[in-house]
Structure 1
């Protein structure tokens, strides 16, 4: 199914009626997902697990790929409608094999949530030599989405949710050296670059997918203490206000930015299924609404910086990603 809607969604809030305390089940807004098929990368822990649970309990069949499915089994075994699969986002061969198995099932793919990721990790590289945060957070999902494209088209109305972060404010894309081959590695700069890539990916994917009924969104879920922080020291967690006097990781207070897991998954679920976003796409969302565009010199806080939604940068990243992965989306 092709659509010829050339409207551009404006990067400004639509006043959804939701907010930072909205939980994922509320953002679903009663949608019946019976007969829908979803894939949630990272869907067995943290925000991904909550997203999996909400989508499955609403009736969707949810495929959860994991590098070691047997380890993920304990997390999802109590949720009906979940299928575990094998996928390593650092391994191009594994990505292709997973996508091929799904395509061979002849099912449409209505929802793809690209949420697996790593944060502030020590320098390591994938099998192609690419920096691991850029490789897992962006390039692996770029390749996965490209390979699943026929199933997304088959859905005749699919949504792709790219999980970004306020971390995009740390750094844009260094197109001359994205893999830290000629510059000193900084784990936070690398993370920020990968989160900017997640946002730009949604911009260009939505542009290319709209005529096929495929809409894409990027999401800042908020700051949530999950396994994503495993590479951070206790001192780093303490500096973020996420370590109590007993050495336990977590927040003692919550606000517009600091959230529980059900609150953090709310914007992901909203972008994946809520009818408020019908006919829209290519935007960065937070607090269960479209985020406000803010100037590049704004202090860190709500909103999205220009370099994360710039359509010229989005196309440039797309071309770079095709070159690095050797994968092209079908015309």
Structure 2
């Protein structure tokens, strides 16, 4: 078990993807990056490929993905939609049948603060996309992850997890009124709990899992927000340009990608797992302050993680062996 205690690392809140990846050689390794064709995910996918990895980017819009990644060698795009179980299964089977181990799985795709929607099974859309889709993908790729002998699964969570824990009595907002931010917070808590439960199951097979907050970066993830909502976050200066104060969590896109890349490649994390990270380090526990550095206790609670895993097994019909 790894505890939420900071470790010695040469990086900090202002570190960039290029700084984290300097000297990293991933030649011969296979990585899968969801959301790898826009925002932070695009930087992650390109950084891994530039370090020598073969990178697969599953995409709901393959044409857009190929255009975004056209200038990067070593990246392949395939169709996949996190809300469609059959498409996840088809992508996973394609990777596993290829016979090459998967060393890195970066679950970066996601949606934020969307209007109420549901998947084909009736599950709330943000939870279904951000958690259940990635749960299915990880289970589908499990044989290839184990075959790597030393693999890492990275769940890109958010400081937004501090908004809400998982409401196991009504995850899908059947009885309570839908709140897009509560739903988002719940899904990001689920990302962190997923890493806790996955790491417990995978560490004996050489698969470690981490979750993280990338920082506040204004990307296409904010496409469902109004101009007034964006203004309320105070992420823009008087000229309408993004503020950059890494220590306060406001980062460039290259800084936003750094922690995920650090979790994926850092030798400092060898023999560790199941922790929530930010600013290229293991994050402290946040006791109560919403919107501040650290992880809420409910997002690393082992009992909650097991409860979520069991429910995910029931709802998807999938698990790992």
Q: Normalising to structure 2: TM-score of the pair?
A: 0.97
1:139 counterpart (108, 121, 132):
132
Q: Structure 2 residue aligned with 1:314, among 275, 298, 305?
A: 305
Q: In the alignment, which residue of structure 1 is the partner of 2:259?
A: 267
Give the superposition deviation at 1:234.
0.3
Structure 1 residue 83 displacement after superposition: 0.3
Q: In structure 1, how many angstroms separate the alpha carbons of the residues matched to 2:290 and 2:174?
A: 29
Superposed, 1:220-299 pairs within 5 Å as 220-243=213-236, 248=240, 250-256=241-247, 257-295=249-287, 297-299=288-290
Contact 1:12 1:290 in 2 (8 A): yes
Match of 2:8 among 9, 15, 36: 15
**Deviation digits for residues 283-323 of structure 1 (CA, Å, limit 9, x no counterpart):** 0000000000122x234300111000000000000001111
Distance in 2 (alpha carbons) for counterparts of 1:181 and 1:299? 26
Residue 184 of structure 1: CA displacement? 0.5
| Counterpart-to-counterpart distance in 1, 2:210 and 2:118 | 27
Task: Show the 5 A alignment for 1:180-219.
Answer: 180-219=173-212
User: For residues 275 and 101 of structure 1, what CA distance do their matches in structure 2 show?
Assistant: 30
| CA contact 2:25–2:51 (8 Å) conserved in 1 | yes
Residue 4 of structure 1: aligned partner: none
Displacement, 1:254? 2.1
The residue aligned with 2:30 is 37
Task: Determine which of 84, 103, 111 is the counterpart of 1:110.
Answer: 103
Cα-to-partner distance string for 1:235-286 (whole Å, 9 max, x where unaligned): 001111234556x5x4234232000011000000000111111000000000
Query: Which of 146, 149, 156 is matched with 1:156 structurally?
Result: 149
Distance across 2 between alignment mates of 1:244 and 1:267:
25
Alpha-carbon separation, structure 1, partners of 2:7 and 2:22: 16
1:50-92, CA deviations, whole angstroms, 9 ceiling, x for partnerless residues?
Answer: 0011100000000001012011111001000000011000001
Does the 8 Å CA contact 2:116/2:125 hold for their aligned counterparts? yes
| Distance (whole Å) between structure 1 residues aligned to residue 61 and residue 289 of structure 2 | 41
| Superposed counterparts of 1:167-182, under 5 Å | 167-182=160-175
2:320 corresponds, among 293, 309, 329, to 329
Give the alignment of 1:23-102 within 5 angstroms. 23-102=16-95
1:189 is paired with a residue whose SS is: helix
Deviations 1:121-180 (A, max 9, x none): 000111111111000100000011001000000001000000000001000000011111
Taking the aligned partners of 1:82 and 1:73, their CA distance within structure 2 comes to 9
Q: CA RMSD in A?
A: 1.1
Structure 1 residue 326 displacement after superposition: 1.5
Q: CA separation in 1, counterparts of 2:132 and 2:24? A: 31
